[in-house]
A and B are shown apart, each in its own frame.
Chain A
């Protein structure tokens, strides 16, 4: 299968009941995504268009298509399209791979979980740039425990940016 081609093999996951009952379906979705074979697509059934998920999975190299059956019934397919997106740091600085993770608009403790999942994949020399609504006071001790270096700034109102990288060995 060529990158960008929509796969025929599909794995279906219906999280409408989870959301109806107030359960956070993100862990189930990510488990399903992680279990996908290269030639498989995940078809997600949700009661609303999961716009934040597009960005999250897009950064991991997934493209998507969307079908609206009714205002409260959507099918969204995700399939591997390309390598995960990376941004380069500013010219002049030592070359580092930077992944951007936006956790604004997520219910606690999902921002914490998402950042910890992402930093686990952080390679040597790579950086994770987290966009948050507030200073994540419960995240910092976790980063310290895992030997990660972090810096926080607030470039604009409503945006707290945390830059995380592994400490040199």
Chain B
């Protein structure tokens, strides 16, 4: 008997493509979380340390960038209503990026700069392929909504961050850049944060959060402040850090205004939502947004010289990278991955026979455990790197690592539906999923 054809979202893009990116990103997240305890002595010192640079790039490139790229292959068709131009390119791109990120992290760890610069070159090629694919997918695009503008800003930011980072890598081998090391490094970090990651999160949030919370999209005022605050902050903060007096404070305030508008909108949306109960993915997203508040306060304090030093800078980095960005990605992955698995394994049967819901594919107990450990671990890590006591940093690292393990276990359970024969997957799910809702649902008679 013939099987129904496997579905392909958009223009033939297999759900396995974004899933492969998200699995690689999760592996990087697990690696980074497991290494925090091991790097406790370094985290109690100055952040400019080869091993901490390795940890930072595991998070920023391996986790955050791969996750965003993978998610974008699913979300561009949804939020921008465009088909992905090439399916083959993302497969090659993932191989290149995985090798490049591994190479960069390994060479940072070893402190060997020529190898790191070569890996950075490979990374630039991988990113260029992504930009090419997205650019071709958006050819002739005319509906410049709030989300579309922020996505364009994000990809511009990604291109500039890549060029800047490649310049820094080459500069380690053949010095050519003017200026001091730390301001240049800070400018690179903030170009990536404000130019690439923040606009992408704000863009996707504006379209995707209302779908899941069953709530309205941002009002015009919120959208305006988020878009123009972020757009103004990128050049102002970067040039301010590179030595243009006065611009840093202006840029920091513009970024704070954008963040404030985002937090206010998320708060209003969550308060006025039609959806009565929240799953763990949405709780992650809300908690992540709450982490943005202390992160921005510390960022503004650092920009205005109210606070200074590596302890505050590390706490700021943990709150921003671990709190806002990572918990947002974790929350979105707990929504995206079940959908992709469901789409691949069950959507051909939808309408023809009963199929499980997304909630029935996931395991709320493990997700709840991941939530408690990851949110608690990040808060603890921010506090302990601020204090700078290695033993407490190690304890926070253990909590974080357990949270990452729980998160990866929750994802593995969902991904397991891909590897079973589809018929078996359906029948076994009702009996083997401990603590999970049964499927197919029992007869309602007498319920």
Q: Does A associate with B in a complex?
A: yes
Q: Is B434 an interface residue (CB 8 A)?
A: no
Q: Check A113 against B78 for contact (C-beta < 8 Å).
A: no
Q: Check A28 against B441 for contact (C-beta < 8 Å).
A: yes
Residues from chain B with Cβ under 8 Å of A142 in the complex = 7, 347-348, 350
A151 to chain B, nearest CB (A): 15
CA distance A105 to B274 in the complex (A): 9
Chain A CB within 10 A, most for which of B276, B350, B351: B351
Residues from chain A with Cβ under 8 Å of B280 in the complex = 22
B160 to chain A, nearest CB (A): 29
B353 nearest CB neighbor, chain A only: A120
B445 nearest CB neighbor, chain A only: A11
Q: Is B275 an interface residue (CB 8 A)?
A: yes
* Contact among A12, A27, A118, A138 for B354, CB-based, below 8 A: A27
Q: Is B369 an interface residue (CB 8 A)?
A: no
Q: Is B389 an interface residue (CB 8 A)?
A: no
Q: Check A14 against B447 for contact (C-beta < 8 Å).
A: yes
B93 to chain A, nearest CB (A): 21
The interface on chain B, measured as residues whose beta carbon lies within 8 A of the other chain's beta carbons, has a size of: 46
Residues from chain B with Cβ under 8 Å of A117 in the complex = 350-351
Q: Is A92 an interface residue (CB 8 A)?
A: no
Q: Check A19 against B7 for contact (C-beta < 8 Å).
A: no
Q: Check A22 against B359 for contact (C-beta < 8 Å).
A: yes
Q: Check A21 against B347 for contact (C-beta < 8 Å).
A: no
Q: Check A107 against B214 for contact (C-beta < 8 Å).
A: yes
Residues from chain B with Cβ under 8 Å of A70 in the complex = none
Q: Is A57 an interface residue (CB 8 A)?
A: no
* Contact among A32, A107, A113 for B211, CB-based, below 8 A: A107
Q: Is A35 an interface residue (CB 8 A)?
A: yes
CA distance A32 to B78 in the complex (A): 32
Q: Check B276 against A47 for contact (C-beta < 8 Å).
A: yes
B81 to chain A, nearest CB (A): 4
In the complex, per-residue mask of A15-38: 1 if CB is within 8 Å of any chain B CB, else 0: 000011111101110011001000
Q: Is B342 an interface residue (CB 8 A)?
A: yes
* Contact among B343, B351, B359 for A24, CB-based, below 8 A: B359
Contact A108 B10, CB 8 Å, known A22-B277, A23-B359: no
A40 nearest CB neighbor, chain B only: B445
CA distance A31 to B4 in the complex (A): 23
CA distance A16 to B279 in the complex (A): 15
Contact A116 B441, CB 8 Å, known A22-B279, A27-B357, A137-B9: no
Q: Check B347 against A116 for contact (C-beta < 8 Å).
A: yes
In the complex, per-residue mask of B431-447: 1 if CB is within 8 Å of any chain A CB, else 0: 00000010011011111
Q: Check B277 against A11 for contact (C-beta < 8 Å).
A: no
In the complex, per-residue mask of B85-112: 1 if CB is within 8 Å of any chain A CB, else 0: 0000000000000000000000000000
Residues from chain A with Cβ under 8 Å of B279 in the complex = 21-22
B349 nearest CB neighbor, chain A only: A116
A7 to chain B, nearest CB (A): 15
Q: Check A48 against B276 for contact (C-beta < 8 Å).
A: yes
* Contact among B275, B277, B350 for A112, CB-based, below 8 A: B350
Residues from chain B with Cβ under 8 Å of A126 in the complex = none
User: B residues 303-357 with Cβ under 8 Å of A?
Assistant: 339, 342-343, 347-348, 350-352, 354-357
CA distance A155 to B352 in the complex (A): 31
Residues from chain B with Cβ under 8 Å of A135 in the complex = 81
Contact A20 B277, CB 8 Å, known A14-B447, A109-B343, A112-B350: yes
Residues from chain A with Cβ under 8 Å of B83 in the complex = 137
B153 to chain A, nearest CB (A): 21
CA distance A147 to B342 in the complex (A): 21
Q: Is B77 an interface residue (CB 8 A)?
A: yes
Q: Check B352 against A120 for contact (C-beta < 8 Å).
A: yes
User: B residues 1-57 with Cβ under 8 Å of A?
Assistant: 4-5, 7-10, 12
Contact A24 B357, CB 8 Å, known A19-B276, A47-B276, A137-B81: yes
Contact A134 B81, CB 8 Å, known A112-B347, A112-B350: yes
B345 to chain A, nearest CB (A): 12
CA distance A116 to B355 in the complex (A): 11
Q: Is A4 an interface residue (CB 8 A)?
A: no
Q: Check A108 against B277 for contact (C-beta < 8 Å).
A: no
Residues from chain A with Cβ under 8 Å of B360 in the complex = 23
Q: Is B278 an interface residue (CB 8 A)?
A: yes
In the complex, per-residue mask of A115-149: 1 if CB is within 8 Å of any chain B CB, else 0: 11111100000000000001101100110010000
Q: Check B212 against A107 for contact (C-beta < 8 Å).
A: yes
CA distance A129 to B348 in the complex (A): 21
CA distance A21 to B435 in the complex (A): 13
Q: Which B residues are within 8 Å of any A CB, using their own CB? A: 4-5, 7-10, 12, 77-78, 81, 83, 211-212, 214, 274-280, 282, 339, 342-343, 347-348, 350-352, 354-360, 364, 437, 440-441, 443-447
Q: Which A residues are within 8 Å of any B CB, using their own CB? A: 11-14, 19-24, 26-28, 31-32, 35, 42, 47-48, 105, 107-109, 112-113, 115-120, 134-135, 137-138, 141-142, 145
**Selected A-B contacts with CB under 8 Å, 22 pairs:** A12-B447, A19-B277, A21-B359, A22-B279, A22-B282, A23-B359, A24-B358, A27-B441, A31-B354, A31-B444, A32-B444, A35-B443, A107-B211, A107-B275, A109-B339, A117-B351, A120-B351, A137-B78, A137-B83, A138-B7, A138-B347, A145-B348
Closest 4 CB pairs of A and B: A116-B351, A22-B279, A137-B77, A32-B444
Known: A12-B446, A31-B354. 14 other contacts (CB 8 A): A11-B444, A13-B444, A19-B277, A23-B437, A27-B441, A28-B441, A107-B214, A109-B343, A116-B351, A116-B352, A137-B9, A137-B78, A138-B10, A138-B77
